Structure 1
Amino acid sequence: MDQLTAIAQIAQEQAVGDRSGHDFAHIQRVVANARRLLAAYPTVDRTLVLATAYLHDYYDEKLVADSAQAKAALEQKLAVTAGLPKDDINQITFIIDHMSFAKNIDTRQPLPLAGQIVQDADRLDALGAVGIFRAIRYGATHGSPDYDPAIPPRQQLTAANYRQPSTIINHFYEKLFTLAGTMNTPAARQMAEERTAFMKQFVAEYMAEI
C-alpha cells in the first residue's frame, strides 16, 4: 500500500459517521479540488498537498472532543501506518494548524504555497450547490434555525463570536459570501466567485419566498 492510499484510509476511518457535512465525501471533493488547483503549480510537493487535503479535518476542534489528543493520534498513525518521516508529518500538521477559517479570522496565518492550495480546495467545497447543502446539514446538525428576522447577521466575525449561535441564512452573509475574497490562487478565486454568485441567487430566492 502506498503512502497516499494509507493516508486516505486514515482519513476515511476518522470521518465515519459524520453528519455535519465533514464526511469522507467532503474530503474526497477537497482532494479533487486540490488536484485541479495543482495543475497550475507543477513544482509544488503534490504528495504534501494531497495528504493534507485528506487529513485537514482530522483533529478539527469542532469535530472532535479533544483536538490535541486527536492530533497526537494522527501523528502516530502517519508514522506507523503510513510510514511518513517526522519532517513530512510536521509539514502536514503545520498547514492543518494554520489553514482553518476560525484560525484566520483575527489574523491571517502564513501558509506555504502547498497550504494555500489546500486552504483554497477546502473553502471551495463550502461554496456553490454543494456549499448550500453543507451549510444546511451543518446548521441542522447543530440545531440552528433556518432564518429568524430577530437575529440579524453579524457585521463582523471575530474569534470570540465565531462559534456563537446564529441562523443558517446568516451563515451565508457572515462567512460564505466572504470566502471568494480570501482565496489564494487565481483559479480558486474564479471558481469561488462563480459559486458565490449561485449561492446569492439561492438566498435571494429563499428570502423572496418567505
Structure 2
Amino acid sequence: MNDYIEKAYKFLLEQDLDHTHDLGHILRVTKYAEFIALNEKADIEVVIISALLHDIARPDELKGIIEDHAVEGAIRAKNFLMSIKYPKYEEVYYCIENHRFKKQIIPETLEGKILQDADRLDALGYIGIARVFMHNSGGNIEERINHFYEKILKLKDLMHTNTAKDVALGKSKIIEDYILGLKDELEVYYGKER
C-alpha cells in the first residue's frame, strides 16, 4: 500500500459511516475498483483513493445535514488530500462528485467511470440482495421486489467498462433467480393474485 493510499485509508477509518454504506461496502467497492482499473489500464492510485473516500459524507446526508453526499464528500476528500499534499486531488474530487447513481451522470474520465461501476457492482449479487433489505427506506417484500426492478436490475446495462459489464451479468443473474424464487414462495402463501 503506498503512502497516499494508506493515509486515505486511515482517514476513512476516522469517519462516521452508515450501516448500508459501511466499511465493508467501501472495501468491496475499492476491491472492485482496483480489479477494474487493472483490467482497463486506468490510474489505480486515483481509483483506489476515490473508492476509499466516496461515501465519507453519506451519513450526514441521511441525517439531513447536507443535501448531496457526493458533492460534500468530494469537497471533504479534496481538502484532506490537499492537506497531505496529494498531487491528484482534483482527479479524486471529480470521481467522487460524479459517482452517484441518482444523478445519472456519465463521468468523462475512465477513473470516474470505474468508481461508478465498482459502486454499482456492490449493489448486485448476494450482498446486493442483503443491502436492499437492510436499507433505511424499509418497505414490505413487494416494495423491496419493486426496488430490484426499478433500480438494481437496471445496473448491469449502465456499466461503463467491459470488465464491469462481465462481472455484472453474473451478479444480476443471482438477483433474477432470487426474485423468481421469492415470488414463487409468496404465491404459495398468498396465491397468484395479491
Q: What TM-score bracket applies, with the shorter chain setting the length?
A: 0.7 to 0.9
Contact 1:99/1:111 (CA < 8 Å) preserved in 2? no
Distance 1:116 1:69 in 2: 19
Map residues 51-200 of structure 1 onto 2, 5 A cutoff: 51-60=49-58, 62-63=61-62, 65-66=65-66, 67=69, 71-80=74-83, 82-85=84-87, 88-104=88-104, 108-138=105-135, 141-147=136-142, 167-200=143-176
Query: 8 Å contact 2:74–2:97 — kept in the other structure?
Result: no
Which residue is 2:37 aligned to?
38
AA partner of residue 175 (structure 2): M
* Map of 1:163 onto structure 2: none
Rounded Cα–Cα distance in structure 1 between residues aligned with 2:57 and 2:163: 28
Q: What amino acid sits opposite 2:39 in the alignment? A: A
| CA shift digits 1:96-125 (9 cap, x unpaired) | 122211010xxx433301111111111111
Higher relative contact order (CA 8 A, sep 6+): 1
Distance 1:53 1:169 in 2: 28
TM-score, length-scaled by structure 2: 0.83
* 1:79 Cα offset (Å): 2.0
Which stretch of the first structure deviates more once superposed, 64-73 or 195-204?
64-73
TM-score by length of 1: 0.77
* CA spacing shift, 1:119–1:71, aligned 2, 3 Å: closer
Task: Flag structure 1 segments of 5+ consecutive residues without an equivalent.
Answer: 148-166
Contact 2:156 2:172 in 1 (8 A): yes
Shift of 1:56: 1.3
Segments of 5+ residues of structure 2 without an aligned counterpart are 187-194
Structure-2 change in CA distance of 1:69 and 1:94 (3 Å): closer
Instruction: Measure how far apart 1:13 and its partner are.
Output: 2.3
Q: 1:9 to 1:119 in 2, by over 3 A?
A: same
Paired positions, count: 180
Instruction: Report how far residue 186 of structure 1 moved.
Output: 1.1
AA aligned to 1:35 is: E
CA–CA distance in 1 between the matches of 2:44 and 2:79?
22
Q: 1:159 is matched with which residue?
A: none
Aligned-pair Cα RMSD in Å: 2.0
The structure with the greater share of residues assigned to helix is 2
